[in-house]
């Protein structure tokens, strides 16, 4: 498998519950931050894509929790592209805690649209920019494990 893109995040107090673990829905925010960093690394920051009339609404999410990140933990969020075809993007994720334990795995599926929600073909520069982190479908399934 191609090496995933890696984003490092230190858990803030605001992301945690009273029980000192990240609230379950906040993991989506962390994945969003990692995906944004991936787009910047690909030379295609969200702001520029939006200025060019492209947005990428989420159409499906899947998360599986196997551990909890806690306040002040430094977590590693790995991201890879499972699909970048026509108007569809799909990403795989793995969040790894400070001990090396996988805490969360997941996927997000997106559609490329204009600002009025009309589907648009993915910009070629984005597909090319994401290529280093794009995996074959067999590798994508294995990566989530």
pLDDT per position as a tens digit, 59-80: 999 999 999 999 999 999 999 9
Homologous superfamily (CATH) for 5-143: Hotdog Thioesterase (3.10.129.10)
Tell me the sheet residues that pair with 134: 81
> What is the DSSP-derived secondary structure letter of residue 18?
T
**40-62 pLDDT per residue, tens:** 999 999 999 999 999 999 999 99
SS (H, E, C) 71-139: CCCEEEEEEEEEEEECCEEEEEEEEECCCCCEEEEEEEEEECECCCCCECCCCHHHHHHHHHHECCHHH
**79-96 pLDDT per residue, tens:** 999 999 999 999 999 999
State the pLDDT confidence band at 1, using cuts at 50, 70 and 90.
low
Contacts of residue 115, Cβ cutoff 8 Å, sequence gap at least 6: 50, 53, 55
* H or E element, residue 7: strand 5-10
> What is the DSSP-derived secondary structure letter of residue 14?
G
- Determine the pLDDT at residue 142: 52
Q: Give me the residue spans of the domains in the chain.
A: 5-143
State the pLDDT confidence band at 2, using cuts at 50, 70 and 90.
confident
């Amino acid at each position: 498998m191609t090496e995933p893109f890696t984003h490092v995040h230190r858990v803030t107090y605001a992301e945690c519950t009273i029980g000192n673990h990240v609230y379950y829905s906040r993991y989506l925010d962390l994945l969003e931050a990692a995906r944004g960093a991936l787009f910047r690394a690909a030379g295609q920051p969200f702001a520029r894509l939006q200025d060019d009339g492209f947005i990428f609404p989420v159409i499906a999410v899947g998360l599986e929790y196997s551990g909890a990140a806690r306040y002040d933990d430094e977590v590693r969020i790995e991201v890879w592209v499972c699909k970048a075809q026509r108007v569809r993007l799909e990403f795989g994720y793995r969040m790894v805690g400070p001990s090396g334990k996988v805490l969360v795995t997941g996927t997000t599926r997106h559609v490329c649209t204009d600002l009025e929600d009309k589907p648009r073909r993915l910009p070629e520069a984005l597909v090319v920019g994401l290529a280093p982190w794009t995996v074959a479908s067999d590798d994508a399934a294995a990566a989530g494990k």
